[in-house]
A and B are shown apart, each in its own frame.
Chain A
Amino acid sequence: MKSKILVLMVLVALVAAFTACGGSDSNTKKIGMVTDAGTIDDKSFNQGTWEGIVRAETELGIEKKYLKPSGTTTADYVREIANLYDAGYRFIVTPGFKFEQAIFEAQSRFPEARFVLLDGVPHAGDYNVVMGANTVSISFAEHQSGFLAGVATALQLQSGAVGFVGGMEIPPVQRFNWGFQQGVAYANANLGTTVTMDAQDVIYQGTFSDVAAGQQLAITMFDRGVKAIFAAAGGVGVGVINEAKARASQGQEIWVVGVDVDQFNDGIYSGTSSVILTSAMKRVDSAAFEMIRAHLENRFPGGQFMTMDATNNGIGIPAENPNLRPEVQAQIQDILAKLKSGTLTVSPEQGGLIK
Chain B
Amino acid sequence: MNLILDIFPYAIAYTMPLLAAALGGLYSERSGVVNIGLEGLMVMGMFVSAITIAAFEPAIAVWTLARCQARGIDIVASPAEYQAIFNHFHAMVLWIGVLAGTLGATIFSLLHAFASVTLKANQVISGTAINMIAGAITVFLARTISGSGNISIKLGFLRGDVPVLSKIPLLGRLFFSQTYATTWLVLLILVVSWLLIYRTPFGLRLRSCGEHPQTADAAGINVYRVRYIAVMLSGAMAGLAGSVMLVTYAGEFTGSVAGMGFLALAALIFGQWKPLGILGATFFFGIAATIANVAPGIPRLSSIPEWILRIFPYVVTLVALMLFSKTSQAPRASGEAFDKGKR
Chain A residues with CB below 8 A from B297, complex form: 200-201, 203, 217, 220-221
List 26 A–B pairs whose Cβ atoms lie within 8 Å, in order of A's numbering.
A39-B148, A41-B148, A42-B148, A200-B298, A201-B297, A203-B296, A209-B254, A210-B293, A211-B249, A212-B249, A213-B293, A216-B7, A216-B14, A217-B296, A219-B10, A220-B6, A221-B297, A239-B249, A246-B155, A246-B157, A246-B158, A268-B154, A269-B154, A270-B83, A270-B86, A270-B155
The answer to whether A204 has its CB under 8 Å from any CB of chain B is yes
Question: Chain B: interface residue count, which band?
Answer: 20 to 34
10 shortest A-B CB distances, which residue pairs?
A: A242-B251, A213-B293, A216-B293, A203-B296, A39-B148, A39-B147, A220-B294, A215-B249, A220-B297, A212-B249
Distance A146 CA – B298 CA, assembled complex (angstroms) = 24
For A246, the closest partner residue in chain B by CB is: B158
By CB atoms of chain B within 10 A, which of A203, A216, A241 has the most?
A216
What would 18 more interface pairs be, CB under 8 Å, given A242-B249, A249-B155? A200-B297, A201-B297, A204-B296, A209-B254, A211-B250, A211-B252, A212-B249, A212-B289, A212-B293, A216-B249, A216-B293, A223-B6, A238-B251, A242-B156, A245-B155, A246-B156, A246-B158, A270-B83
> For residues 235 through 289 of chain A, which have their beta carbon under 8 Å from a beta carbon of chain B?
235, 238-239, 241-242, 245-246, 249-250, 268-271
Chain A residues with CB below 8 A from B149, complex form: 38
For B146, the closest partner residue in chain A by CB is: A39
Q: How far is the CB of A78 from chain B (nearest CB, A)?
A: 22
Determine whether the beta carbon of A200 is less than 8 Å from that of B249.
Answer: no
Q: How far is the CB of A275 from chain B (nearest CB, A)?
A: 10
For B86, the closest partner residue in chain A by CB is: A270
> For residues 289 through 313 of chain B, which have their beta carbon under 8 Å from a beta carbon of chain A?
289-290, 293-294, 296-299, 302, 306
> For residues 262 through 296 of chain B, which have their beta carbon under 8 Å from a beta carbon of chain A?
289-290, 293-294, 296
Distance A210 CA – B298 CA, assembled complex (angstroms) = 18
Pick the contact of A212 from B156, B157, B250 — CB < 8 Å? B250
For A204, the closest partner residue in chain B by CB is: B296
Chain B residues with CB below 8 A from A250, complex form: 158
For A38, the closest partner residue in chain B by CB is: B148
By CB atoms of chain A within 10 A, which of B249, B252, B289, B306 has the most?
B249
Distance A91 CA – B147 CA, assembled complex (angstroms) = 26
The answer to whether A194 has its CB under 8 Å from any CB of chain B is no
Pick the contact of B306 from A39, A206, A249, A269 — CB < 8 Å? A206
Q: How far is the CB of A229 from chain B (nearest CB, A)?
A: 11
Determine whether the beta carbon of B296 is less than 8 Å from that of A41.
Answer: no
Count of A-B residue pairs with CB < 8 Å: 82
For A248, the closest partner residue in chain B by CB is: B155
Distance A132 CA – B252 CA, assembled complex (angstroms) = 40
Q: How far is the CB of B14 from chain A (nearest CB, A)?
A: 6
Chain B residues with CB below 8 A from A215, complex form: 249
Distance A219 CA – B291 CA, assembled complex (angstroms) = 13
The answer to whether B87 has its CB under 8 Å from any CB of chain A is yes
Q: A38-B149, A200-B297, A217-B297 are in contact. Are A212 and B14 (CB under 8 A)?
A: yes
Determine whether the beta carbon of A216 is less than 8 Å from that of B158.
Answer: no
The answer to whether A329 has its CB under 8 Å from any CB of chain B is no
Distance A270 CA – B250 CA, assembled complex (angstroms) = 19
Distance A210 CA – B252 CA, assembled complex (angstroms) = 12
By CB atoms of chain B within 10 A, which of A41, A206, A213, A245 has the most?
A213
The answer to whether A196 has its CB under 8 Å from any CB of chain B is no
Determine whether the beta carbon of B294 is less than 8 Å from that of A217.
Answer: yes
The answer to whether A205 has its CB under 8 Å from any CB of chain B is yes
Chain A residues with CB below 8 A from B155, complex form: 245-246, 249, 269-270
Pick the contact of B293 from A209, A217, A221 — CB < 8 Å? A217
The answer to whether B212 has its CB under 8 Å from any CB of chain A is no
Chain A residues with CB below 8 A from B152, complex form: 238
Chain B residues with CB below 8 A from A199, complex form: 299
Determine whether the beta carbon of A211 is less than 8 Å from that of B293.
Answer: no
For B254, the closest partner residue in chain A by CB is: A235
The answer to whether B159 has its CB under 8 Å from any CB of chain A is yes
Chain B residues with CB below 8 A from A203, complex form: 296-297
For B9, the closest partner residue in chain A by CB is: A219
Chain A residues with CB below 8 A from B87, complex form: 249
Distance A212 CA – B158 CA, assembled complex (angstroms) = 15
The answer to whether B61 has its CB under 8 Å from any CB of chain A is yes
Q: How far is the CB of B80 from chain A (nearest CB, A)?
A: 9
> For residues 152 through 207 of chain B, which have their beta carbon under 8 Å from a beta carbon of chain A?
152, 154-159
Q: How far is the CB of B86 from chain A (nearest CB, A)?
A: 6
Chain B residues with CB below 8 A from A217, complex form: 293-294, 296-297
Chain A residues with CB below 8 A from B296, complex form: 203-205, 217
Distance A242 CA – B237 CA, assembled complex (angstroms) = 25
Q: How far is the CB of A244 from chain B (nearest CB, A)?
A: 11
Return the CB mask of A9-39 against B: 1 if under 8 Å, else 0.
0000000000000000000000000000011
Q: How far is the CB of B92 from chain A (nearest CB, A)?
A: 15
For B6, the closest partner residue in chain A by CB is: A223
Q: A203-B296, A217-B293 are in contact. Are A239 and B251 (CB under 8 A)?
A: yes
> For residues 35 through 53 of chain A, which have their beta carbon under 8 Å from a beta carbon of chain B?
38-39, 41-42
For A42, the closest partner residue in chain B by CB is: B148
Chain B residues with CB below 8 A from A204, complex form: 296
Q: How far is the CB of B206 from chain A (nearest CB, A)?
A: 33
For B150, the closest partner residue in chain A by CB is: A38
Distance A217 CA – B289 CA, assembled complex (angstroms) = 12
Determine whether the beta carbon of A246 is less than 8 Å from that of B159.
Answer: yes
For B178, the closest partner residue in chain A by CB is: A219
Q: A41-B147, A200-B297, A220-B298 are in contact. Are A249 and B252 (CB under 8 A)?
A: no
Distance A269 CA – B154 CA, assembled complex (angstroms) = 6
Return the CB mask of B1-13 against A: 1 if under 8 Å, else 0.
0000011001000
Chain B residues with CB below 8 A from A201, complex form: 297
